[in-house]
Amino acid sequence: MWIIWAVGYFAMAVAAHGCIARLVWWNDSVSKFLLVGSLLGLMLTGHMSAVYGVALPTFATIAFYAFACELYMFFFTMVMSSVSAKLLMTLRDTVVSDAHIAEMYSADGMVDRRLERLLGIGLLNRDGGQWKLSPKGLRLTRAFVALKRFFGHPIQ
């Protein structure tokens, strides 16, 4: 029975993510899902704790929900940054020449689009012709360093 609750809460998180993606003004899909996914995860934790207490079904439900949420985030972030997915979506609507594809997916163009995306979600600031980390970007890089240390990865 616990897996039904995990799947149900996960479905609600995905549906809420779809709604908030259309209603909320900020442009970061990951943080939008983290918001709704975390809230529903807390609700699920409370629900399972009330039903089963601190027991294996509670932990199994939370672990399954967390895994489903992580998998969902992996898929939608992979599609957001996938060259193949973007190319297929472009070709779905129009015919594109070789020259236009080469221009769209040149190394410089891809870096420019990535920089603009990082600027749009507030991780970078642009000062004239220079790029620098925003306070939000600095917090994120500090978190990356802390996680690398925690998991024993070398820090560049």
Q: Is the pLDDT of residue 59 over 90?
A: yes
Give the three-state DSSP class for 152. Answer: coil
pLDDT band, residue 53 (cuts 50/70/90): very high
- The answer to whether residue 156 sits within a structural domain is no
- The answer to whether residue 31 sits within a structural domain is yes
- Its pTM stands at 0.62
Q: Are residues 33 and 93 in the same domain?
A: no
- The answer to whether residue 155 sits within a structural domain is no
Q: Is the pLDDT of residue 24 over 70?
A: no
Q: Of 39, 65, 81, which closes a domain?
A: 81
The parent domain of residue 103 ranges over 89-150
What mean pLDDT do residues 99-115 have? 77
Torsion of CA 11, 13, 18, 22, to 10 degrees: 160
What mean pLDDT do residues 87-106 have? 78
- pLDDT reported for residue 2: 86
- pLDDT reported for residue 147: 82
Q: Calculate the average pLDDT of the chain.
A: 85
Based on the structure, what is the number of domains in the chain? 2
pLDDT in tens, 118-156: 888 888 998 888 889 999 989 988 988 888 888 787 877
